[in-house]
């Protein structure tokens, strides 16, 4: 455990402070000795282990919510508008002339067909992501959560996922959040499933249950890093299964799959196929980040692919 993780361990050990003393004479009550000792130890801990931002390592408030500084959170670059209403991928602006042949009717305000939607199966209703992975601090947040053991960044990331605009039918129909499962060996290596941490934090905002026991990986898969789109699809094909015991919950349900990043959608699509085979009616996806398209990327995205 490196010294940079000390702030998170320290944050986990914090205890709630004393509530404001009520009016009417109660303010003269003495604090119990155990509270005084706790406050003294807390001050000593802050002195010896000052909290630092998980991304830039600058000093931050010594609380679990302060594990990412305000500056790094402000540097998250949101997905641009306009975007496809179904898949959430950025679209050409209606004010920019369309390339020849892309508009089926020739109307000046018509967007071309969304090429990103073509990779989604018909049972996927909507896809949304908070930010780009090729600009701002979004990639660093994902990296801290996924590879550096900073599980405490998940609440800040999920708070931004909760504010994403989804089609009305999704918000009305969604019945549960389902994190994309990791292979057991990989989860043991990391100590947790980053998708599950995001789903748990997001559930508190959306007031939905998290179904952790519904979807499982049936086999170990290679990392998606450096695989072509077709190789990614083959790598995760039939790699997931809906647990038969969960069929009663899944039957006819609209559920939301949660993951940290979406790249080609291969992993999420394979998960969605398994859920539909298990009885689900329709699936939506939500992630924190979205990797850039091959023709648009400005930096390598090798660290931000799905497992």
Where residue 154 sits, what CATH number does that domain have?
3.40.50
CA angle at 190 for the pair 135 and 155, rounded to the nearest 5°: 55
Based on C-alpha coordinates, what's the Rg of the chain? 22
Half-sphere exposure of 193 (CA within 13 A, CB side): 18
Looking at the structure of the chain, the number of domains it has is 1
- Alpha-carbon distance 110 to 102, whole Å? 10
Residue 298 included in any domain: yes
- Alpha-carbon distance 1 to 182, whole Å? 22
Residue 5 included in any domain: no
- pLDDT recorded at residue 226: 53
Residue 172 included in any domain: yes
- pLDDT recorded at residue 61: 64
Residue 169 included in any domain: yes
Q: In Å, how far are 27, 31, 158, 240 from 21, measured between CA atoms?
A: 5, 10, 33, 53
Residue 131 included in any domain: yes
Spell out the alpha helix ranges (H) of the chain.
Answer: 6-12, 33-48, 70-74, 138-146, 154-162, 168-173, 184-190, 194-206, 229-236, 247-250, 266-277
- Alpha-carbon distance 262 to 133, whole Å? 10
Residue 16 included in any domain: no
pTM of the model: 0.74
Residue 3 included in any domain: no
Q: In Å, how far are 158, 268, 286 from 123, measured between CA atoms?
A: 25, 12, 15
Q: Could you read off the pLDDT tens digit of each residue along the chain, which spans 307 residues?
A: 444 444 444 444 444 443 444 444 444 455 566 666 565 555 555 555 567 888 998 887 655 456 889 899 999 999 988 888 999 988 765 454 545 455 445 554 556 678 889 889 999 999 999 998 988 999 999 999 999 999 999 999 999 999 999 999 999 999 999 999 998 888 998 999 999 999 999 999 999 999 999 999 886 665 655 555 555 555 565 679 999 999 999 999 999 999 999 988 899 999 999 999 999 999 999 999 998 875 443 334 444 455 5
- Alpha-carbon distance 267 to 236, whole Å? 6
Nearest to 114 by CA among 98, 91, 95: 91
Residue 155 included in any domain: yes
Range of the domain at 198: 76-304
- Alpha-carbon distance 10 to 81, whole Å? 40
- pLDDT recorded at residue 260: 96
């Amino acid at each position: 455990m490196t010294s940079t993780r000390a702030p998170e361990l320290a944050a986990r050990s914090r205890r709630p402070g004393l509530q404001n003393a009520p009016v009417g004479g109660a303010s003269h009550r003495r604090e119990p000795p155990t509270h005084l000792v706790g406050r003294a130890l807390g001050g000593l801990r802050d002195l010896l282990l000052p909290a630092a931002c998980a991304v830039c390592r600058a000093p931050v408030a010594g609380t679990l919510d302060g594990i990412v500084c305000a500056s790094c959170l402000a540097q998250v670059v949101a997905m641009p508008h306009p975007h496809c209403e179904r898949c959430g991928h950025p679209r050409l602006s209606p004010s920019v002339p369309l390339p020849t042949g892309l508009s089926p009717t020739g109307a000046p305000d018509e967007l071309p067909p969304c090429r990103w939607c073509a990779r989604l199966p018909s049972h996927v209703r909507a896809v949304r992501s908070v930010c780009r992975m090729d600009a701002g601090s979004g990639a660093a947040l994902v990296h801290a959560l996924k590879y550096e053991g900073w599980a405490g960044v998940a609440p800040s990331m999920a708070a931004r996922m909760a504010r994403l605009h989804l089609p009305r039918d999704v918000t009305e129909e969604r019945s549960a959040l389902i994190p994309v499962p990791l292979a057991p060996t990989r989860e043991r290596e990391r100590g947790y499933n980053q998708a599950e941490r995001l789903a748990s934090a997001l559930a508190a905002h959306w007031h939905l249950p998290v179904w952790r026991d519904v979807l499982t990986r049936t086999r170990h898969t290679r990392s998606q890093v450096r695989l072509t789109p077709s190789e990614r699809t083959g790598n995760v094909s039939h790699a997931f299964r809906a647990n038969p015991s969960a069929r009663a919950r899944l039957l006819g349900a609209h559920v939301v799959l949660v993951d940290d990043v979406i790249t080609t959608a291969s992993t999420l699509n394979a998960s969605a196929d398994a859920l539909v085979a298990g009885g689900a009616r329709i699936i939506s996806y939500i992630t924190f980040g979205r990797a850039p398209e091959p023709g648009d990327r400005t930096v390598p995205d090798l660290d931000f692919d799905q497992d």
